[in-house]
Amino acid sequence: MSDKSKAVKKTITYKPHERMAALRNLSVPEQCAVFLELSPYVQQTILRKLKTLEIVDLLDHMDMQQAEHALAKIGDAKRRARIVKRLKGEVKEKMEYFLRFHPQASLEIITFNYVFLSETKTVAVAADVVDEHYAETGKYPEILVHRDGELVGEVALSKMVRARNTATLKKLIQPIETIGYQADVSEIISKLTDTDQRKLVVIDHDTSVLGVVYANAARQLFGHLPGESLYDFAGVDDSERPFDNISRKVNSRYRWLILNLATTFLASSVVLIYQDTLDALTILAIYMPVIAGMGGNAATQTFAIMVRGITLGTISLKNAAPAIWNELAAGLLNGIIIGAIVALISAVWNGEPLLGLVVALALIGAHLVAAVSGAVVPLFMKHIGKDPAATSTIFISTVTDVMGLFFLLGLATWIML
């Protein structure tokens, strides 16, 4: 325990009026480390004064045994039940989020069979804790070690039994691989399959331990091709693979290409509607491929980001609203930048400020459409069970082309004629 924690422990123990303020001035890991060093009476007093959410955060940093002992000090059975329900719900939700790396992964792959001890504890004290854990569960736990509540490593049971009883755990610590439960799926897969260590500690955003995953158990889910299994993780089992045979490639594509052929006539119909405008302002023909090309490229950028998120399991139609708004804002700013450049070129090259204004506004509109379609279409295709990578571009290109030409020709008709 650090000098700061020792001083706080002394204040909490001997100065009741300053007790809660001193405790709340610590980080949650430090609160847990200090709390576990207090007498049962002081612990019980603190638990009565803490809010439910504060107790949940505190228990979240303890191992199961420590949490059970702390809960036993809460006299109100109804309050104790609420805390347990809240704690279990949060842990389960986070662990299920972590387990998105494989559709067959379940909570059974994660073990909570560990004890969480301060590095200042002696081997004798640790042995008593291990014995108590074994008596309750019939299993020897993993020994995880913390410094002021922050995980610093583990102690192997084989090392502990050979050490002197008076030795502190600090002298026996060895590193342990950790990963946040919110990590990208690719990082989780890499750590589970490439790490030389036999286990991985899953930690919360506040560094508390959520559970332990054994690498061997995880590898059994992947077989020998974890990278290729990403198709399965994304829920697109029928997606086309790079090395599929020719017939499968043709069979998976030709229907969508036929649909694409039909949708291209929509863009042509826009040109037909504004034929009189094109006859009067033939210079617009120069800018038609610019509008279509820039809109298509902007949509492709958004589309690539969304497909990556879908593949990694980090985004779906349900939680996509913030991402779509961000893409929309980015599309607006990019449209303004590109539109201003093209407007300047048009004004200098063609000597037509109004033409520059029309093209600039059309580019802004095209970028906004590109942002929305590039984000929403792949998410929707995934939602209805289609492969977003193979099917989305047809609809995205149609929307960007049609709307881009509509903005250019419509604005030209309104402003310049």
> In terms of residue numbers, what domain contains 23?
3-100
Query: Could you tell me which of 392, 370, 390, 260 has the C-alpha nearest to residue 317?
Result: 392
Claim to verify: residue 62 and residue 150 sit in the same structural domain: no
pLDDT of residue 336: 92
Looking at the structure, do residues 221 and 167 belong to the same domain, yes or no?
Answer: yes
Q: Is residue 240 part of a domain?
A: no
- Are residues 65 and 145 located together in one domain of the fold? no
Q: Which residue has the higher pLDDT, 389 or 372?
A: 372
Residue 188 lies in a domain: yes
Last residue of a domain, one of 59, 83, 100: 100
Indicate yes or no: pTM above 0.75: no
Residue type at 125 in one-letter notation: V
Domain end (from 77, 100, 123): 100
Lowest pLDDT segment from 20-24, 200-204, 221-225, 305-309: 221-225
Q: For residues 159-177, give the mean pLDDT.
A: 89
Residue 229's pLDDT band, with cuts at 50, 70 and 90, is very low
- Cβ atoms of 82 and 52 closer than 8 Å: yes
Tell whether 8 is covered by a domain: yes
Residues 91 and 200 in one domain: no
Same domain, 78 and 122: no
Assess whether 84 and 117 both reside in one domain. Answer: no
Q: What is the residue-averaged pLDDT of the chain?
A: 81
pLDDT of residue 195: 62
Which residue, among 160, 175, 154, has the nearest Cα to 123 in the 3D structure? Answer: 160
Same-domain pairing of 64 and 180: no
Q: Are residues 67 and 124 in the same domain?
A: no
Q: Are residues 407 and 307 in the same domain?
A: yes
If one counts the domains in the chain, the total is 3
Provide the 3-class DSSP secondary structure of residue 178. Answer: strand
CA distances from 263 to 3, 5, 270, 297, 409 (A): 71, 68, 12, 18, 19
Query: Is 239 contained in some domain?
Result: no
Q: Do residue 396 and residue 288 come from a single domain?
A: yes
Is the distance from CB of 181 to CB of 95 less than 8 angstroms?
yes
- Mark whether 224 and 292 lie in a shared domain: no
Q: How far is CA 288 from the centre of its chain?
A: 39
Do the domain assignments include residue 241? Answer: no
DSSP result, 193-215? HH-SSSEEEEE-TTS-EEEEEEH
Question: Does the pLDDT at position 227 exceed 50?
Answer: no
